[in-house]
Copies of this chain bind each other. A is one copy, B any other.
Amino acid sequence: MARTVLPGGLRVVTEHVAGARSASVGLWVEVGSRDEPALGAGTHGAAHYLEHLLFKGTRRRSARAIAEEIDAVGGDLNAFTGKEHTCFYAHVLDRDMPLAVDVLGDVVLDAVMAAADVELERDVVLSEIAGRDEDPEDLLADDFDALLFGAHPLGLPVIGTEESVTGMTRDRLADFHARHYVPARSVLAVAGNVAHAEVLAAVEAAYGSRLDGSSEPWHRRADGDAPGVPGERLSVRDEDTEQAHLMLGVPSLRRADERWPALQVLSTVLGGGMSSRLFQQVREQRGLAYSVYSSTTGYTDAGALAVYVGCAPERLGAAAAVVRDELGDLATHGISEAELVRARGQLRGELVLGLEDTSSRMTRLGRRELDHGGLDRATDLATTLERIDAVGAGDVAALASSLLTGPRTAAVVGPYGDVDELPDEVREMVES
């Protein structure tokens, strides 16, 4: 792996993958939905809107030309927007890496953002919001974050709202773009059958004069208190769904916390696989649900540990009782040595098995640069594996005791008019 900081503050990180025939190129920008409120009212959903708009044409390329150039070489070109970053990426044959680097830089830094396209994409984004509204799990995740993070910008849905997208103006988008989509906030991550020097040459050929000035790379930093511990801790969205969808959780750790590997072990034992407590108790032993799992999310200054259950409404109470008992047991007794050994093995295996293609390697590379600001030991796979192996049952018990005894937050999507219609077990979990 290699890293170069170019003039203007653009960071280029690469990993050569022997044997691969492809290259995955990601241009990561440290901008996301949590940056929107700082620009004032009316920018809510701007980062995601821009993810759409930037592909609509640059000074050198029409939207059609962008699509045709990448499709002609069989590449994949897309983007995703998060709360703290946006990634524009392409997956191409190795020989087409320079094209991918060129197109991505063109799109991100040099988009035209024509007024007519702002209007066209407004309808497309509204259509995407309508699709989200049809997906109970997507709605649930947004509701849960809104509760857990309260009024903090991390509580806002990335996609915006129908209202905010309807009211978005080109000026606001252009302002947001000018402020955030700059080389100093960007990381170009490339993994595949390419050399670092080849990538640097492609970047210089493509971005040229954009890379000047003395800007230092910009890092998002944790400052002030972690968001969270809101007022309301239980929400219900009344939807005429077949199933009840429950997400229950607690604030956990910021991403850079040294206890992160212990959190992964905790979540794995709780609901990370088929042998996890929740899968065994909720699905295998009782047949209460098809889908049940736990998950972790980490940001610069906050994080979450959450459990999801989707089940028949008449079983929600029973499922919630099992979740309550397992959380209580973990908080009080921690995990067994057998669970520890199995969870470490699972995490190690998943990590290695999850890095088989260049896209997953590019994603890891980019995320690590954003999370840790520079290739350090933490970037190294061997080091990550060592940190997993170093987790002890005592570390997990201490973490479980500290995280799982605090206030809990729960969101429900399903056929319930209000919180009073929820099963007692759900209400008690949040109140206790």
Contacts and interface: CB of A to CB of B under 8 A. Distances in A.
A71 B310 CA distance: 23
Interface in A344-364: 345-353, 356-359
Interface string A205-238: 0000000000000000000000000000000000
Nearest to A162: B242
A74 B127 contact: no
Interface string A69-102: 0111111110000000000000111000000000
Contacts of A274: 66-67, 70-71, 77
B310 A273 contact: no
A301 to B, nearest CB: 30
A418 interface: no
B275 A127 contact: no
Contacts of A283: 124
Interface in A335-393: 341-342, 345-353, 356-359
Interface string A44-84: 00000000000010000001101110111111110000000
B93 A352 contact: yes
A289 interface: yes
A43 interface: no
A19 B19 contact: yes
B120 A286 contact: yes
Contacts of A64: 275, 280, 284
Contacts of A288: 123
B275 A345 contact: no
Interface of A: 18-22, 56, 63-64, 66-68, 70-77, 91-93, 119-128, 130-131, 133-136, 240-243, 273-276, 279-280, 283-291, 310-312, 341-342, 345-353, 356-359
The 5 A-B pairs at the shortest CB distance, nearest first, are namely: A74-B349, A19-B19, A67-B274, A130-B242, A120-B287
